[in-house]
Amino acid sequence: MYRTYLKRVNAAVATGDKEAAAAAFADAVPVLDKLVGKGILHKNKASRHKSRLHAQIEALG
């Protein structure tokens, strides 16, 4: 499920639309945090995803 949200962010980054990427990122973060809380996803992996996606969004300028 979380991979769908990550794909949405990556697709928005690929098009170069910073607003859409930021909106998709805002939708993806709670999903990642929820999975960490349930023990499905390791906290470091979720943090790594969030960090890398945020860096890509900020690089769009």
What's the average pLDDT block by block, 10 residues per block, for the chain (61 residues)?
96 97 98 98 98 97 83
Quote the pLDDT of residue 47.
98
Report how far residue 36's alpha carbon sits from residue 27's, in angstroms, rounded to the nearest whole number. 15
Quote the pLDDT of residue 42.
98
Quote the pLDDT of residue 61.
83
Report how far residue 23's alpha carbon sits from residue 32's, in angstroms, rounded to the nearest whole number. 15
- Do 6 and 14 meet the contact criterion of CB atoms below 8 Å apart? no
